[in-house]
Amino acid sequence: MRTLKLLPAVFAICIAGPASAVPYYWTDWTAWDPAGGTAVGVITPNSGPAVTVTFDALTSSGAHGSYLGVTNGLWTPAATYESAQVDNAPTYEALQLVGENNMTYRVTLSEAIKDPLMAVTTLGAAGDSATYVFDSPFTILSQGPTCCWGGGPNQLAQLPGNVLEGFEGAGTIQFIGTYTTFSWTVPDPEYWHGFTFGIRTTERLEPTPTGVPEPGTLGLMGIALGALGLLRRKRA
């Protein structure tokens, strides 16, 4: 009976997920045309394949619009972008937006990506928020001070309808699931805010068949079941 009572704890351990943060791989933007509304980058995991990231700023007619530009040095302090899930902040360039009501910003990935990240910085102003309205659900993993405009309050909030709101906000969000593309609008224009993308793995590198636990979960399950076996042997 005591063994049976421990079973819920075993399964709680198994579904808890990774116990510590893991490295993520961030986009190195290699070519950009702000006036033409396009950018291209590459993400290179330690064990391939490399992932091409294509960014498009599109008007309501589907034609290319524009965005503000590209800049370096925005992803500090690093702790703002790190969390229990993410071990490392971005180090490459950021794309910069002002945002327009009739513009859609779209990211297309050459590989199916599991649980991609988006890092954002200086979204909104201290007394005037700006919002990103996504076409996919997300969760906020971390937030904190920005590199610039130190007045704060450095706040990100998740609102209904897949809306990210920022008051001089900075941090990292994650889209749960497997994606090859996603997009968002910026209905509250504000000058300016930066963003980039990161991944942990691809569907090709780490497929997850329906109903089959991921490798880390299987390892935890083995440890937990082994502990139960030792307990039963001791009682015998």
Cα-Cα-Cα-Cα torsion 148, 152, 157, 163, nearest 10 degrees, comes to -50
**pLDDT at residue 224 greater than cutoff 70:** no
Q: Where are the domains of the chain?
A: 19-205
Distance from C-alpha of 180 to C-alpha of 187, rounded to nearest angstrom: 24
Tens digits of residue pLDDT in 120-140: 999 999 888 999 999 999 999
Q: Which residue has better confidence, 15 or 69?
A: 69
Closest CA to 25 of 177, 205, 169, 185: 205
Q: pTM to 2 decimals?
A: 0.79
Tens digits of residue pLDDT in 166-203: 999 999 999 989 999 999 999 988 889 999 999 988 88
Q: What is the pLDDT of residue 81?
A: 97
Tens digits of residue pLDDT in 46-86: 877 899 999 999 999 999 999 999 999 999 999 999 999 99
Distance from C-alpha of 127 to C-alpha of 144, rounded to nearest angstrom: 17
